[in-house]
Amino acid sequence: MEDNIQEREFGWTESSESDFSAEEYVGDLDMADSSDDDLDLHAPLARHGPIIRANPQDLALQREYWSMCATAFLFDYRRFSVPHLQQLINCAWHIRGNVTIVGRDSHYYILHFDVLDDLLYVCGEGPWALDGALLVLEYWRNNLVLNGLQLNFVSLWIQIHGLPLEYQNPKLAIRMGQMLGMYERID
């Protein structure tokens, strides 16, 4: 396990990127020394709430578990229930170990893999078409907030049927790929 674990600050506001100040906020009020007339109801509130520091050993154990996970985005107008998506995955992926859906938030799912090679294979070979929907996978990463994810880019494999033989050459395939979007590679 890594001993070099970066501490993350938890609080009531998003303060993990801010500098911590031990100084008391000037606008804080001592309720015993003030009357209702002295209160400034429009004064800004303190920026920091209580700070909780995670135990590095507990954090390392949690990260060990989550490192065997992938986040998945289901690109479809339908929302699949966890049991339905689990059944589709079990039928579609022929992998050595088990994969279990351990969480969901709207169209995002968290998948836990028992075997690292299965995780690498499924994330590397995607996106996947399941029941007419596109399932886009990404490896889990530290400090991931599921409802904060955005799908900005998806790699797709395009197959063109009925293309005359004289047009089936790598240079033309690359030009067609560039016309559709950002070209990555041809088969």
71 forms bridges with which residues in the sheet?
A: 110, 138
pLDDT digits (tens, 9 = 90+) for 156-181: 777 888 888 888 888 888 888 888 77
Average pLDDT value for residue range 75-103: 92
Q: Residue 3 above 90 pLDDT?
A: no
Predicted local confidence at residue 178, as pLDDT: 83
Residue 64 above 70 pLDDT?
yes
Tell me: pLDDT of 10 over 50.
no
Alpha-carbon distance of 92 to 130, in angstroms, equals 8
Q: Name the CATH code of domain 67-148 (choices 3.90.470.20, 3.30.70.330, 3.50.50.60, 3.90.930.12).
A: 3.30.70.330
pTM of the model: 0.61
Q: What is the pLDDT of residues 28-55, one digit of tens each?
A: 445 555 555 655 666 666 666 778 888 8
pLDDT of residue 33: 56
Across the range 74-94, mean pLDDT stands at 91
- Tell me how many degrees the CA angle 121-66-154 measures, rounded to the nearest 5: 45
93 has pLDDT over 80: yes
What is residue 38's predicted lDDT score, i.e. its pLDDT?
59
Q: How many CB atoms lie within 10 A of CB 136?
A: 19
DSSP string, the chain: --S-PPP-EE-SS--TTSPP--SPPTT---GGG--GGG--TTSPPPS----EEPPHHHHHHHHHHHTTEEEEEEESSS---HHHHHHHHHHH---SS-EEEEEEETTEEEEEESSHHHHHHHHHH--EEETTEEEEEEE--TT--GGG-------------S--GGG-SHHHHHHHHHHHS------
Average pLDDT over residues 86-111: 91
pLDDT tens figures, 111-162? 999 999 999 999 988 889 999 999 999 899 888 877 776 666 667 777 888 8
Per-domain boundaries in the chain: 1-55, 67-148, 157-187
Which residue has better confidence, 57 or 182? 57
